[in-house]
Amino acid sequence: MTGWDQRPFETKNLFNPAFCAVVLMRSLKAYAVADPKGMPFSQSVLILPLSLHNESRDLLLKHYKSYLLKTFEANPQLQIGLPERVTEMLPYTFEAFGLAHQADCFEVTQEGRLLPKARRLTPDIDGTDETVACQRAAMLLGREFAKIADRVTVYSALGIRP
């Protein structure tokens, strides 16, 4: 990972670890509401690539009342470049998790699931339209991943080999 002072200005703004941590925590919290066991780590790495990517986020939010698997099926363009985006976003995901863990925002269970800690995230979502949309998309993904309750199904629906 490139040092913070050596990153381009755009990268610093787009993949700010604090913002990415908030996006991830929104997703973990939404998942935990539907499934108190917590989100599997393997699904958490999908959150940033889907919620920060403009086209993916717009499609997800446009079809928020539909089942997520139906949205994936009806919009195969979500799969284009997703495996590469997930791989490219891993360092930023790890950096965000590191910051969130340092701030004591979540815990890792014995089963390797991620559970948000109570009251570490404000319930109000504010900011620019785009930052609010990123957080809402992350919440949608967290809730829907919990409803699906199967990592292999989520990965297969996205065209990624688990």
Which tens digit of pLDDT belongs to each residue from 112-125?
899 998 776 777 78
Asked whether residue 111 is domain-assigned, the answer is yes
Asked whether residue 55 is domain-assigned, the answer is yes
Asked whether residue 125 is domain-assigned, the answer is yes
Asked whether residue 73 is domain-assigned, the answer is yes
Which tens digit of pLDDT belongs to each residue from 60-82?
998 877 888 888 888 888 888 88
pTM exceeds 0.75 for this model: yes
CB 38: neighbour CB atoms within 10 A? 21
Asked whether residue 26 is domain-assigned, the answer is yes
The C-alpha angle 92, 55, 47, rounded to 5 degrees, equals: 35
How far apart CA 92 and CA 17 sit, in angstroms, is: 7
pLDDT of residue 162: 61
Which residue segment(s) compose the domain that 36 sits in? 11-157
Do residues 108 and 114 touch, judged by C-beta distance below 8 A?
yes
- Domain count for the chain, please give it: 1
